[in-house]
Structure 1
Amino acid sequence: MKRLMIFVAFFMSSLAFAQDEIYTGYFSSKALSGYDTVAYFTDHKPVEGNAKFTAKYKGADWYFVSQEHLDMFKAEPEKYAPQYGGYCAWAVSAKNDFASADPKEWAVVDGKLYLNYDDDIKHKWDQDPALHIKQADANWPKLISK
């Protein structure tokens, strides 16, 4: 029982800390779980990156499939990095909160990459992406400054 209470206290105290600007998960420093963020724009699908082609950006490690993609990202990281730091775009919009995102649940809208938690959430996002983008754009600055 004592161990459970210590675990709960530790977990609850970790929720009080600010979120990282880029979502990497708890035990990783990989942005997009190691998927190549440029590939969403060039290949129009999620593609796992390669550890031979990495960059550090906003405290996270970004993986790419080729030197070409790495160079493209380095030249314009804001163009290729997912919106809302790669957190679930629907959660930022609808819940005004952080949630993890699955790199396989994605959309490019007006040249920007958005990720969502899972297929069900992506379906909710797809009902009105323009509204969710508007809401998330308004919520994001306050969320990230917490």
Structure 2
Amino acid sequence: MTRLVMFLALFISSLAFAQDEIYTGYFSNKALSGYDTVAYFTDQKPVEGSAKYVTEYKGADWYFASQQHLDMFKAEPEKYAPQYGGYCAWAVSAKNDFASADPKDWAVVDGKLYLNYDDDIKRKWDQDPALHIKQADANWPTLIGKP
């Protein structure tokens, strides 16, 4: 029992202080839960990626629906990767904190991809995306330890 308590304390404390730059969830290394980040730009909708088309970028595995999308991402990952590492853009903005994001709650604004936690949070984001982007851009470097 003592070992379990110690393990949980270490696990929880590591979560509190360290966040990966790319959101992948706790039990996966898939960026965007395996959705194809290029598809938001080319298909204007979330499309699930395939295990046939995978690459590693910033410590996460990125899945794509086609070889063409994989090649596009490899050529310009910063163009297609979601802002704020795929964490909820509203949380980075309004709460100055990390929160998971749902790949189905998204927006492309000025050529950049933003994800949000759920439909309710996405509606908050949609009320003033420019303000949220400005706030999140200011908060993000500090959140990831790169002021």
Query: TM-score, normalising length from structure 1?
Result: 0.94
Aligned partners of 1:16 and 1:91: how far apart in 2? Answer: 16
Other structure's SS at 1:62 match: strand
> What's 1:92 paired with?
92
* Structure 1 portions without partners, runs of 5+: none
Counterpart in the other structure of 2:140:
140
What RMSD, in angstroms, separates the aligned Cα atoms of the two structures? 1.6
Identify the residue that residue 83 of structure 1 maps to in structure 2. 83
2:118 corresponds in structure 1 to 118
Unaligned runs of 5+ in 2: none
| Count of paired positions | 146
Cα-to-partner distance string for 1:30-59 (whole Å, 9 max, x where unaligned): 000000000000000000000000111000
Percent identical: 87
User: Closer, same or farther in 2 for the Cα pair 1:7/1:109, shift >3 Å?
Assistant: same
Query: How far is the alpha carbon of 1:13 from its aligned partner?
Result: 1.3
Q: C-alpha separation between the residues in 2 aligned to 1:15 and 1:24?
A: 13
- 1:70-112 CA deviation, whole Å, 9 max, x = no partner? 0000000000000000000000000000000000000000000
Counterpart CA distance in 2 for 1:6 and 1:110 is: 47
Task: Give the alignment's TM-score, normalised by structure 2.
Answer: 0.93
Tell me the alpha carbon deviations over residues 98-146 of structure 1, each in whole angstroms, 9 at most, x when there is no partner. 0000000000000000000000000100010000000000000000117
